[in-house]
Amino acid sequence: MSQRILRLNQLVYQELNIILHTLFRDAATRISITEVSLSPDLHDAYIYFSVIGDGNGIQEATKFLLRNAKTLRQTLCQRIRLRFSPRLNFKYDNSIVRGQNILATLDSL
């Protein structure tokens, strides 16, 4: 992966976190962006997120992000000047839950 893509991934990650927690302060308190991965042609951005809470919170967060994807995309494009406005594809990141399960298993040993 090129250095430009890596820098853009980090920039989009930072900006999305700022946008999410300033525009949607109350609704997005339990949502955390964990990683951003832009496609090489910059047309798609895969946004990985985690949620503090149970399975119901995951569904609510997914619906919230999908419902507000247009606003997030527009605000992101106002803050970052790119040739293309990337489509935001949200994916739940369960690595935190897996890590907690591993720690719980290790503690039980």
> CATH no. for residue 42?
3.30.300.20
Percent of all residues in the chain with a pLDDT value above 70, rounded to a whole number = 99
For the chain, how many structural domains are there in total?
Answer: 1
Task: Tell me what pLDDT residue 53 has.
Answer: 74
40 φ, ψ to 5°?
-60, -30
How far apart CA 54 and CA 59 sit, in angstroms, is 9
Please determine, for residue 71, whether its predicted confidence score (pLDDT) is greater than 90.
yes
Find where tokens 């609704």 sit: 27
Task: Tell me what pLDDT residue 109 has.
Answer: 76
Task: Tell me what pLDDT residue 68 has.
Answer: 94
Compute the Cα dihedral for 14, 16, 22, 25 and give only its sign: negative
Please determine, for residue 28, whether its predicted confidence score (pLDDT) is greater than 90.
no
